[in-house]
Chains A and B, each alone.
Chain A
Amino acid sequence: QSAPTQPASVSGTRGQSITISCTGTRSDVGTYNYLSWYQHHPGKAPKLVIYGVNNRPSGISNRFSGSKSGNTASLAISGLQAEDEADYYCTSRTTANTVVFGGGTKLTVL
């Protein structure tokens, strides 16, 4: 089971909007809506920011949104803030009844 592909890095200036993609296959992203996104600041535990493709957990800013089309899911962050700088990972259920993490994307806020 290979990991869904994410861009290694994305950058944006404060206030700008960015999108991070997560491209899988019909064996994972393309089949299930068990698609989540995590924000990970180094040295801290990862934090769930989107689940079920486009649902935000309680306490997560509405600046975070998710979508999916075919084998590709996307995380959008609007109104970039300095604290958004982190690594972001998608996860998906697979047809083998496992879970797979995307390769991760480093977001830099300029």
Chain B
Amino acid sequence: QVQLVQSGSELKEPGASVKVSCEASGYTFTTYSINWVRQAPGQGLEWMGYINPGARNPTYAQGFTGRFVFSVDTSINTAFLQISSLKAEDTAIFYCARDTSWGVYDSWGQGTLVTVSS
């Protein structure tokens, strides 16, 4: 069955970087884009953008350019979200999701909590 498994929770200091992984199984990894979604504490879900594993071309939502980088390693069927120069306001749960068609997310990772605190 289709499964996305994310890396574990992270505690980082302000200014550091973090890399969250999302390992896919149960389907051909290059067939569907991987989208990233953020949920800040007490807030709703927010679309961050996506990457097509086949073309490796990321698209970022407004507000997620510059410090946010999507990448993939097709040899291990894994997508990555890297955030640099972390700020306290980056504290959130980050989800990866398989997109079968413009916002149809039929499989999600379990979420990764990133906490930014000194």
Contact = CB atoms under 8 A, between A and B. Distances in A.
Interface residues of B, number: 24
Nearest to B100: A51
Contacts of A103: 44
B108 A52 contact: no
Nearest to B109: A45
Interface of B is mostly: strand
Given A93-B102, A99-B35, A45 B44 contact: no
B44 A104 contact: yes
Contacts of B50: 99
B111 A45 contact: yes
A101 B101 contact: no
Contacts of A47: 108
B45 interface: yes
B105 A38 contact: yes
B75 interface: no
Contact of B44 (A48, A97, A101): A101
5 contacts: A45-B110, A46-B108, A48-B104, A51-B104, A101-B46
Interface of A: 1, 3, 32, 34-36, 38, 40, 45-48, 51-52, 57, 87, 89, 91-93, 97-104
